[in-house]
Structure 1
């Protein structure tokens, strides 16, 4: 009968609004929870099929909850470099275990990025979810895959060895005096005819010499000398590049440590004439375990060094700096080299592309991981898990992992956290509406009870 269905409708209203009250309460309680996504209660009418020739039967209402995963929370600054937020779409990939995780341990997705190292250096947030990423190997491509979770590794920021970088590029700027008196011995300078008689060996005295310090493959400091002697030919100078001391390198028939030699020529207005200069711009030094034969040269056998290629930049007509020949005294203007001595890990930073970079005390940086951002066709279809995490479900669709700022994925923001998406003003308004609706539903129950009581009284 209709009174009974009205009673049931009032009861369903009480039940639905009680559920909505729980959702609102949870939202308010998590107003300050990092990465929290508010939930919303949606009410759906349960209408029974009606017959126009019979009395109306109430169907009631049911409440369903939906997590607003797509909503972006405000980004708040943090002092920790491993605190991460996402500006845009995507979620961090995590697991509840790090080094001892097995295939049976599931993957979880979260926006709660308050990651900090645990006792073993693995990054985990306050809910105990460990951050996972693609490992970066400088010699191999990153093993990315949109759905392959097996290539991910737990992000660990401890036990990272120190780093050094061998010198690759040398830039040398100097002025060679145009009015330099020609050394009488310059007329006999001929490395092709007499390869062991050079400025490097001390048989010829250079008119100008300067040294630069470079780094070998182990971060050790090596010294190169740049020697110049004016040629009897106008606007030309003999040039040599050699190692000091010569014992740092070894080569058959080349005891003076000479790496490169040639002529540097200048135009009549004092600029370097590269077209007529023969000093090599590339210098190859073999590894210490290689067999060096003249004219090749390698690091000394006992040094244990890798092969090294040096790119020598001495300028040119269109390049600022470099070698010049003006009528002022010989002078070194500037010499710069790249490479770094050995340095230990000083900090870890994450860039907008999701690369986890290890920074060393010598100024070097090295990417060790790249963080994928997980996306789903239906983010609202994810299953809600404890600690502000989510897991995949049939409703969420296929997982798609993307690099940050690619394919619609958001950017990773270091030293930031995503705030809760809860709007307290809206939640308190919803609280008032829910309270009124609950009270109204209770009136349905009491009214239906009174009507049934009247019906029972008819029998009396």
Structure 2
């Protein structure tokens, strides 16, 4: 080999360091290129075939050492369609071979990149900054499942998302054990209940509920004493008017005072009472008998040993009493006005509330919430719910806390128009506030609401979804009311979720998964061939693309270059020194050749 071999070796050394410098310069130049993978330089010694005792250090050549498996930092980005792969893998992309009518024409050859700065172009494609179009697998918006397994170039057209009619309403609520309806009166048992007798057009209870006959109801006043010298409890013989120290009311009724019973006026006179008159000198028993003659009750009103008066409604009418002398009336232990409703009454259950009975229904029920439902064309309709308590365990034996649920059919109903429809189910509750028996849900069979026909709508309560606990507000506390329908909508924007799914944001407020971005991996990742724009081609050494084992896609993020400037500067210094050293060898070899030539002279 000799001196000239050393010259040749030094030249190869210069060439090798120049190659290394070229890689370093490329790495530094692309230090800010999205997802750039630096190239390191590999030096290979070339050893000539010589004897064991004559081995030489040999020449040198260079090769590139890929860092395709070395990930750059993942940093957040403000663009919702930007994405980065956290872990192993590449986005599958294609680059158009040409354009026709401003539409890309693809060759069908897949490339691969880590560059994820994709944005939606005017044609609905996701294109990165280097002009590569991302591929993925479409998703069925109805099921959320992928529609295939082979990646295709994704295009998101500005089509309408079809309307989906409401078919399920998930509903959870607590019904106040004592609903504060408009007509409730804490002093009147059962006044909080829906009262069929108040509905002229039919009993709105569940269809087929038997008609309940009217039954007597009563109310008892507070115990009162007379004004005897030693006061004792009032009795039936206690006079309605008398001197101090006598068995008479503590406040006298006077001539001209009146008591009105169910619109019939009883007038007090000094003496000679006739018809609906009472002498002021009559006693409590006479007054009670007069009231009973007007109400027609079969159960006589009475006064107990404590001086408390009990009045009965009878079955003919409700009981309503007022007095012009409220103080004297109060001496009876009663407070004017007295209002007692008969029990029972009404026809068999029709399950409907007509417009003529709308106000009575509103007064005797409480709001159960509302949700916007949709028909098959996406037309919205307000599904209004109300609850009415129809029985109460507080009424004694034979009674159970029972509710009926209604939905509004026509908000403008009048006369014989159907206003509210009973779901025709009795919801009964145990003392612990739980439904017994439990009802998981009910179905509204093809309801028409506000003139808009819907399909069957299932209202699901789930396990323990509707309860009856005490509530100081006396209303229905709706914990959930959510339906599954929505109107048609056009695609507004797309974004990439954390799971690598492209999500379409529609004008109707829906966010629908449209596609799954594909991630390809290779057995020989560092043997991929680089092409322009941070993309790669598969080679025989890299193997074919594999799917299903790549890293995770992070939305609204980008991967940085894996070039470390400090490290490249260090390599730059070493390369410069090595290059200079090789030139020194050439200088030395040249000097030695000159010396040899001088000997020949």
Q: Same fold (TM over 0.5)?
A: yes
* Counterpart position of 1:180: 190
Give the Å deviation of 1:363.
Answer: 4.4
CA contact (8 A) 2:528 2:539 kept: yes
- TM-score scaled by length of structure 1: 0.80
The more displaced of 26-35 and 182-191 is 182-191
Residue 225 and residue 143 in structure 1: after superposition, are their counterparts in 2 closer, same or farther (change >3 A)? closer
Give unpaired runs (5+ residues) of structure 1.
249-253, 286-296
Give the Å deviation of 1:109.
Answer: 1.2
Query: Which of residues 412, 418, 421 is equivalent to 2:562?
Result: 421
* Counterpart position of 1:289: none
Pair 1:239-2:401 in alignment: no
Pair 1:223-2:383 in alignment: yes
Residue 229 and residue 391 in structure 1: after superposition, are their counterparts in 2 closer, same or farther (change >3 A)? same
SS of structure 1 residue aligned to 2:160: coil
* Counterpart position of 1:84: 83
CA contact (8 A) 1:200 1:240 kept: no
* Counterpart position of 2:207: 191
- Mapped partners of 1:413, 1:375: distance in 2: 17
- Mapped partners of 2:412, 2:448: distance in 1: 9
SS of structure 2 residue aligned to 1:447: helix
Figure out how many residues of one structure are paired with residues of the other and give that number: 424
Pair 1:311-2:327 in alignment: no
Give the Å deviation of 1:19.
Answer: 0.6
- Mapped partners of 2:351, 2:530: distance in 1: 77
Deviations 1:262-311 (A, max 9, x none): 11112235x13231x66x713154xxxxxxxxxxx3558x9586x45322
CA contact (8 A) 2:140 2:146 kept: yes
- TM-score scaled by length of structure 2: 0.62
SS of structure 1 residue aligned to 2:178: coil
Residue 455 and residue 85 in structure 1: after superposition, are their counterparts in 2 closer, same or farther (change >3 A)? same
* Counterpart position of 1:114: 117
- Mapped partners of 2:546, 2:453: distance in 1: 46
Give the Å deviation of 1:380.
Answer: 0.6
Question: RMSD across aligned C-alpha pairs, in angstroms?
Answer: 3.6
SS of structure 1 residue aligned to 2:352: coil
Give the Å deviation of 1:359.
Answer: 2.9
Give the Å deviation of 1:92.
Answer: 1.2
Pair 1:324-2:468 in alignment: yes
* Counterpart position of 2:46: 46
SS of structure 1 residue aligned to 2:495: strand
Give unpaired runs (5+ residues) of structure 2.
180-188, 211-347, 393-397
* Counterpart position of 1:200: 353
CA contact (8 A) 1:208 1:330 kept: no
Pair 1:63-2:220 in alignment: no
Q: State which structure, 1 or 2, has the greater radius of gyration over its C-alpha atoms.
A: 2
Deviations 1:41-66 (A, max 9, x none): 0101000111256x666631001012
* Counterpart position of 1:251: none
Give the Å deviation of 1:346.
Answer: 5.0
- Mapped partners of 2:572, 2:412: distance in 1: 84
- Mapped partners of 1:107, 1:264: distance in 2: 62
CA contact (8 A) 2:174 2:467 kept: yes
Query: Which of residues 430, 435, 454 is equivalent to 1:273?
Result: 435
CA contact (8 A) 2:208 2:349 kept: no
